[in-house]
């Protein structure tokens, strides 16, 4: 394995660990005795909130969940996506948060998954900020 491949493997493992740690801290109902997948924890959090999102916004949020769970994502990308998802779930303005995410993603190298997300985002919800 090359140094670059080894670095990417470590970064992805660190990113997955960081995501699990964030989910653990943010999920008050998660206990050590419960066995749940990351997806179950994410979906349980959104079911209990009072978000009022449109269908296109819900579709984008679902795409964000898929991006967050992708192992090829860099740690920085994952942190930005999780931060945006949490802000939306806690009631912040959807368009403002997604626009901030896109601006922050412009300053870092994007993986193929993030590039694909941006393309799909422009198809699903084309507002002027994109």
- The model's pTM is 0.59
Task: Give the pLDDT confidence score for residue 71 in this predicted structure.
Answer: 92
- HSE of 53, CA atoms in CB hemisphere, 13 A: 23
Q: Is pLDDT above 90 for 55? A: no
Q: With beta carbons less than 8 A apart as the criterion, state whether 103 and 72 touch.
A: no
**Residue 94 DSSP code:** H
Q: Is pLDDT above 80 for 16? A: no
Q: Is pLDDT above 80 for 104? A: yes
Which of the pair, 14 or 8, is modelled with greater confidence?
A: 14
Picking from 24, 116, 19, the residue whose alpha carbon sits closest to that of residue 69 is 19
Average pLDDT in the chain:
75
The ranges assigned to domains in the chain are: 3-124
Task: Give the pLDDT confidence score for residue 13 in this predicted structure.
Answer: 64
């Amino acid at each position: 394995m090359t140094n670059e491949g080894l670095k990417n493997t470590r970064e992805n493992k660190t990113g997955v660990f960081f995501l699990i740690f964030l989910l653990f801290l943010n999920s008050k109902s998660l206990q050590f005795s419960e066995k749940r997948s990351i997806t179950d924890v994410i979906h349980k959090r959104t079911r209990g909130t009072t978000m009022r999102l449109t269908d296109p916004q819900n579709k984008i949020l679902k795409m964000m969940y898929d991006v967050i769970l992708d192992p090829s994502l860099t740690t920085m990308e994952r942190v930005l996506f999780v931060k945006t998802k949490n802000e939306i779930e806690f009631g912040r303005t959807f368009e403002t948060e997604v626009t901030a995410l896109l601006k922050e993603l412009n300053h870092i190298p994007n993986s193929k998954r993030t590039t694909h997300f941006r393309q799909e985002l422009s198809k699903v919800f084309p507002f002027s900020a994109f």
